[in-house]
Amino acid sequence: MKIAINKNRLQSEIDELALITEAAPPVVTRVLFSEADLRGRAFVKNLCREAGLNLREDAVGNIFARWEGLDKNFPVVATGSHIDAIPNAGKYDGVVGVLGAIEAICALQQSGFQPQRSIELIIFTAEEPTRFGLGCLGSRLLGGVLSPEKAAALSDRDGKNLEFWRGQAGCVGELNSVWLPKNTYAAFVELHIEQGPILERENLDIGIVEKIAAPSTLRIWLTGVGGHAGAVLMPERHDAGLAAAEISLAVEQAAKNSGSPDTVGTTGIFRIEPGAVNSVPCQAYLEIDLRDTLVQTRDEALAQIEKAAVEICQRRGVELKMERLNVDPPAICDAALVETISEICTAQKISSKRMISRAYHDSLFMAQVCPTTMIFIPCFKGYSHRPDEFSSPEQIEKGVQVLAETLAALTSH
């Protein structure tokens, strides 16, 4: 059986989807349930129909596209990723794992392969945290990591909640219907760009993910005392903006001093009010991303940040409110799946290495549902979440080839 990947067709589809964006190309922006996101979903669903896949959609907008196997009694093998994109993003993050999976299925079909088990492509809702500040919304609900009640209470910065946006997108059904019981799938394999420089630096074709880092998100609200920039003297100030700046520096120090080389801390959202050059900031809002491959060092750094925030605000006379939005465990990928992909790479003479994913993905939460791993391909200088994110058609082709061979191996019995 020869599986031939049509890299030109796939690149054309990637380029076409990249034109569906809220910002002018080459920037890609598709925020959850925005007009661009809905058009992107329609584009992908149309490709699935053209491939003869059976479509369904759950109550939060996760899309499932199935190639029916010969024996419907066997547990299904799943693959997939996401197509939503943060503001000022590129066109490969997530998309390679969705359009690449469609191409893998088409290549298998054209080779004459008949799967015994069904293959299901999942296009996850809101892998990016842009709308609600919480990443992997769809897969969290699928994995039972996020309760329907907490999901329903999520709201964006305009105060519009998930129920509003579900209505805008035409999603129907109760959120508690999204959860998938353990071992709903026989396996889940996600194809993705590395979003790091290791594969390119070592001139390798494929990364096989053994472990996915543990993320956490901390929200902080600060309330100080505003006033005229010229009239409020320095000893009398309770500046929420300066308290926020100190906390941001405390995040950096906690990450640097954790003792783990994999601890990273980012104050990705920093807003102050009223936002006037001649006014002392009276309020500030921060969202902090802290992650590590080790739970202990991540949690110790998180506690250190919270302790520092309390001290800073007490010293500055600023009111503090903190919330841990999520504190997730790492995922250990399935050893048998990792070995299967490694053997496929060897057989295909495709270079590979086993590695850790320091970015987290929907696979982190699919690991709660079934055996899971990821296939990484190189990306230019490790760039991601920016318009110059890039993987070559040849790099993508090899990733899709490995994915197709993996799906064939997992569904042939």
For residue 157, what is the domain's CATH number?
Answer: 3.40.630.10
Question: Could you tell me if 143 and 270 lie in one domain?
Answer: no
Question: Could you tell me if 18 and 142 lie in one domain?
Answer: yes
Nearest to 83 by CA among 133, 120, 38: 38
* pLDDT for res 73: 92
Q: Which of 327, 347, 376 is the last residue of a domain?
A: 327
Residue 413, pLDDT above cutoff 90:
no
Question: Could you tell me if 53 and 159 lie in one domain?
Answer: yes
For residue 236, what is the domain's CATH number?
Answer: 3.30.70.360
For the entire predicted model, the pTM comes to 0.92
Q: Please tell me the distance from the alpha carbon of residue 263 to that of residue 124, in angstroms, as a whole number.
A: 27
Tens of pLDDT, residue by residue over 305-335, are: 999 999 999 999 999 999 999 999 999 999 9
Q: With bands split at pLDDT 50, 70 and 90, how would you rate the model's confidence at 398?
A: very high
Q: 393-411 vs 335-347: helix axis angle to the nearest 10? A: 120
User: Does any domain span residue 395?
Assistant: yes
Residues in the chain: 413
Q: Please tell me the distance from the alpha carbon of residue 7 to that of residue 14, in angstroms, as a whole number.
A: 10
Q: Please tell me the distance from the alpha carbon of residue 243 to that of residue 254, in angstroms, as a whole number.
A: 16
Question: Could you tell me if 176 and 277 lie in one domain?
Answer: no
Question: Could you tell me if 389 and 289 lie in one domain?
Answer: no
Q: What percent of the chain has pLDDT over 90?
A: 99
Query: How many structural domains comprise the chain?
Result: 2
Q: Which of 327, 354, 373 is the last residue of a domain?
A: 327
User: Does any domain span residue 2?
Assistant: no
Residue 361, pLDDT above cutoff 90:
yes
Q: Which residue has the tokens 């054209």?
A: 110
User: Does any domain span residue 159?
Assistant: yes
Residue 230, pLDDT above cutoff 90:
yes
Tens of pLDDT, residue by residue over 14-44, are: 999 999 999 999 999 999 999 999 999 999 9
Question: Could you tell me if 29 and 119 lie in one domain?
Answer: yes
Q: Which residue has the tokens 């209470």?
A: 153
User: Does any domain span residue 1?
Assistant: no
Please list the residues that pair with 272 across neighbouring strands: 284
Question: Could you tell me if 57 and 114 lie in one domain?
Answer: yes
CB 174 within 8 A of CB 68: no
Sign of CA dihedral 134, 141, 147, 60: positive
380 token code pair: 């230019």
Residue 187, pLDDT above cutoff 90:
yes
Question: Could you tell me if 83 and 191 lie in one domain?
Answer: yes
Residue 170, pLDDT above cutoff 90:
yes
Q: Which domain holds residue 144?
A: 7-213+330-411
Q: With bands split at pLDDT 50, 70 and 90, how would you rate the model's confidence at 245?
A: very high
CB 183 within 8 A of CB 376: no
Tens of pLDDT, residue by residue over 72-124, are: 999 999 999 999 999 999 999 999 999 999 999 999 999 999 999 999 999 99
* pLDDT for res 1: 79
Mean pLDDT of the chain: 97
DSSP string, 38-90: HHHHHHHHHHHHHTTPEEEE-TT--EEEEE--S-TTSPEEEEEE---EEEEE-
Q: Which of 298, 327, 356 is the last residue of a domain?
A: 327
SS3 270: strand
Question: Could you tell me if 23 and 135 lie in one domain?
Answer: yes
User: Does any domain span residue 288?
Assistant: yes
Question: Could you tell me if 48 and 180 lie in one domain?
Answer: yes
User: Does any domain span residue 152?
Assistant: yes
Question: Could you tell me if 201 and 77 lie in one domain?
Answer: yes
Q: With bands split at pLDDT 50, 70 and 90, how would you rate the model's confidence at 214?
A: confident
The whole-number average pLDDT for the span 182-187 is 96
Question: Could you tell me if 131 and 37 lie in one domain?
Answer: yes
